[in-house]
Structure 1
Amino acid sequence: MMIDEKKRNGIPVHLSIDDVAEALDNCTYDTRYILDLEKQEIIELSENMISDDEIQDVFEEIDEDETGRYIPFPIRTDSRDGYADMQLFIETIEDQLIRNEAVQTITGSGAFRRFKDFIRFYPELEKRWFTWKDERASLRALEWLEEEGLILKKDD
């Protein structure tokens, strides 16, 4: 299957939005993800799974591939999206006292751990947070697919 990257407009991808979102959120220098358009799957490359030499071989194959079959996921270098999600979510908290306390939990170093510990005290809020967070991750995944000229298709 020959796919010109510049003409990759509207190619259907039969994957789970959750899998795409997870790969986007977890793609780092230590764990890389590649979308294989031919096999319609996400390849995970991690030093915990295969050796450095095997990872290098995979990237050489991808670099030499001229079909456009492989699309590497962007490497996540910071936690900006996750922090922005927490900030936006906190703005939706109606109880002013709880909202103020939540703002304090994400101030400074260790914000993610403190927020996680804080939200655990409010089960309904925690449930809403996980739904919110998943929806934001799905939106980022859909945006990335669109940027790559891909359309998510659900199997019927």
Structure 2
Amino acid sequence: MKRLHIDWSELIAAFADSSTWEINYYLDTETGQVLMVTDDARRQVEQIYEAHFDPDAPDSFDMTAALTAVSLSDWEKEDVLTADFVEINFGSRVIDIPETQSYEAYNEMQNFIDTIEDERMSNQLRTATEGRGAFGRFRDVLRQHLAAEQRWYAFQENQVQQRILEWLEEEEIEPINMPQPKEVNIEAMLELRHKLLAEVRLFVHAASRIPGITRIALIGSLTTDKPDPKDADLLVTVTNGMDLTPLATLGRKLQGHAQSFNRGGEVFLADPQHHYLGRTCPWKQCGPGTRASCDAYHCGKRPFLHDDLGDMRISEKLIVAPPIELWPKVVTRVVVPEDVVERVIRPLQQQDA
């Protein structure tokens, strides 16, 4: 049995790739490298052989030399060389990496559902996996349950690792390096996300009482089911003559609290005409010359407006229709994560009732 160092991340990605109708993956059994060959690269190899290969003098053909006469980019030439290498060495040094069959992926879903203790969620997932389109519906249900979704990704990767080990054994290859089981600390990730959501709720509750604010919306990664967002991003619409001082104070509190657990917070500003204005100033004192490092275009012209428009802009489309409006009324344009409803929207509605 041949002992080989395996690039597990590349091999797992190759096994899990569902777009193999135009891409094929191979394993170099001398180096352990995963080789990817596209249909386009294979066709280009055939065309080059037809144009430059002399069957009466096969040893004289050099693919690298032939590529100098072909109008291709450097990365396309690399792809052609890889495809040619696979063609020459296939069946000896190079072996085909098998595609994941649909029944294998389906069985993985069913096996994962068997691990779920929540009966309601389990029933939802089983219903989703009935009939055509099962994979898409399965993912749609999981997106509503952050912890379960992350457990699924770990479960799926561990299943792929097991299939790879079985395949390598069939090919009489013994990995020198064994894969590490995939584990996800869901609780720690969700705890930080929930801390950010708590800061959002406190911000909205306080900011909604400041004169001149006409709308507060949530944008960015917290509007998705991403379990480990880095920032709490809020889009606040303000009247043209509003004093930004109290809002900037809340923005600094949001940012400071988030930074205490290694996250961030930003308050983006727009006017009633849906023009992006900038962000709230991060400094307690705002004015020309107060901070040499200030990169606002018009520092101090409107106190506590940080209009660093060269570094950051928000599109008018996003300003007109942000994913989740939190105040003065709730308007949603995306599938709202369950924890946003439970930890932000519902408490705010109860406070205003």
TM-score scaled to structure 2, two decimals? Answer: 0.37
Shift of the alpha carbon at 1:72?
1.4
Distance 1:75 1:91 in 2: 25
Shift of the alpha carbon at 1:127?
1.1
Shift of the alpha carbon at 1:124?
0.9
Shift of the alpha carbon at 1:89?
0.4
Q: Which structure has the bigger radius of gyration?
A: 2
Shift of the alpha carbon at 1:74?
2.3
Equivalence for 2:33: 41
| Structure 2: 5+ residue stretches without partners | 46-79, 179-353
Shift of the alpha carbon at 1:35?
1.1
Distance 2:154 2:145 in 1: 14
Distance 1:51 1:148 in 2: 25
CA contact (8 A) 1:17 1:142 kept: no
CA contact (8 A) 1:105 1:114 kept: yes
- Helix, strand or coil at the partner of 2:24: strand
Q: Residues 72-95 of structure 1: CA distance to partner in whole angstroms, max 9, x if unpaired?
A: 11244x411111110010011111
Equivalence for 1:31: 23
Q: Residues 44-94 of structure 1: CA distance to partner in whole angstroms, max 9, x if unpaired?
A: 00135x25132774554135x7xx211111244x41111111001001111
- Helix, strand or coil at the partner of 2:130: coil
Equivalence for 1:116: 139
Equivalence for 2:5: 14
CA contact (8 A) 1:21 1:140 kept: no
* CA pair 75-118 structure 1, distance change in 2 beyond 3 A: closer
The structure richer in helix per residue is: 1
Equivalence for 2:162: 139
Residue identity over aligned pairs, in percent, reads 30
Equivalence for 1:99: 122
**Matching residue within 116, 125, 128 for 2:151:** 128
TM-score scaled to structure 1, two decimals? Answer: 0.79
Equivalence for 2:111: 88
Q: Residues 81-127 of structure 1: CA distance to partner in whole angstroms, max 9, x if unpaired?
A: 11111001001111111111110011111111111110011111111
- Greater RCO, 1 or 2 (C-alpha within 8 Å, sep 6+): 1
Question: Once superposed, which parts of structure 1, at least 4 consecutive aligned residues long, lie more than 6 Å away?
Answer: none
Distance 1:46 1:145 in 2: 23
* CA pair 57-19 structure 1, distance change in 2 beyond 3 A: closer
| Structure 1: 5+ residue stretches without partners | 1-8
Distance 1:51 1:74 in 2: 18
CA contact (8 A) 2:7 2:32 kept: no
CA contact (8 A) 1:17 1:152 kept: no
CA contact (8 A) 2:125 2:138 kept: yes
Shift of the alpha carbon at 1:18?
2.8
CA contact (8 A) 1:18 1:138 kept: no
Distance 1:89 1:60 in 2: 38
